[in-house]
Amino acid sequence: MNRSGFTARPNRGFTLVEMMITVAVLGILAAIALPSFLDSIRKGRRSDAFAALSAVQQAQERWRGNRNAYTTSLTPQPGDDPPGLGLAASSSRGYYSIAINAAGASSYTATATAVAGTLQAGDEPCQRLRVRVAAGNITYGSAGPVGDFDESSTNQCWVR
């Protein structure tokens, strides 16, 4: 007991200042970690485009093995004869739309474009991924929403 006749209780809990400091520190950590986390998610989801473009490559080679040119048709269209590659126009998880932009006797270009409204649409330098086959040579490229494709060997989107 102290002089006033009351026993002193130990302090329990946190003060408002301590709570505010904790919330501020957590906010700063989240602001630093969240963009890095989202970039990691986007990078991992690029595999959806890689798999879809790989399926296009394999189907195109099967197609070319039976015909004298590559095709521009992913999916069968009414009245198509022959009926296209039989592939979906979107990637398996739906993060990318797939298109064959050009095709000829010895070349084709296939592009995977991030679907608007998904997290992948914010993947600026890698929003569009492309595979180009010309006379047996394969080049991989990437680009943002507009502009030319980067097909350099240092392309950050196609880690090989």
Dihedral in degrees, nearest 10, Cα atoms 113, 118, 122, 124: -10
Q: What is the mean pLDDT of residues 140-153?
A: 90
9 assigned to some structural domain: no
Residue 3 has a pLDDT of: 65
In a domain, 37, yes or no: no
Q: Which domain covers residue 132, as residue numbers?
A: 46-143
Enumerate residues 6+ apart whose C-beta is below 8 A from 48.
91, 92, 93, 95, 96
Distance CA 50, CA 153 (A): 17
Sign of CA dihedral 121, 124, 126, 130: positive
28: Cα separation from own chain's centroid? 27
Over residues 62-82, the pLDDT tens digits come to 888 888 889 888 887 666 666
What is the tally of structural domains in the chain? 1
| Banded pLDDT at 8 (limits 50, 70, 90) | low
> Does residue 17 belong to any structural domain of this protein?
no
**99 occurs within a structural domain:** yes
Residue 154 has pLDDT above 90, yes or no: no
The DSSP bridge pattern shows strands 128-134 and 137-143 to be antiparallel
In a domain, 31, yes or no: no
pLDDT score for 97: 95
pLDDT at 77: 63
CA distance 155 to 52: 19
Query: pLDDT tens for residues 90-135?
Result: 999 999 999 999 899 999 999 999 999 888 988 888 999 999 999 8
pLDDT value of residue 14: 80
Is 151 domain-assigned?
no
CA nearest 67: which of 104, 36, 92? Answer: 104
Is 104 within the bounds of a domain? yes
Residue 159 lies in a domain: no
pLDDT in tens, 16-63: 898 999 999 999 988 888 888 888 888 889 999 999 999 999 999 988
Q: What is the pTM of this model?
A: 0.77
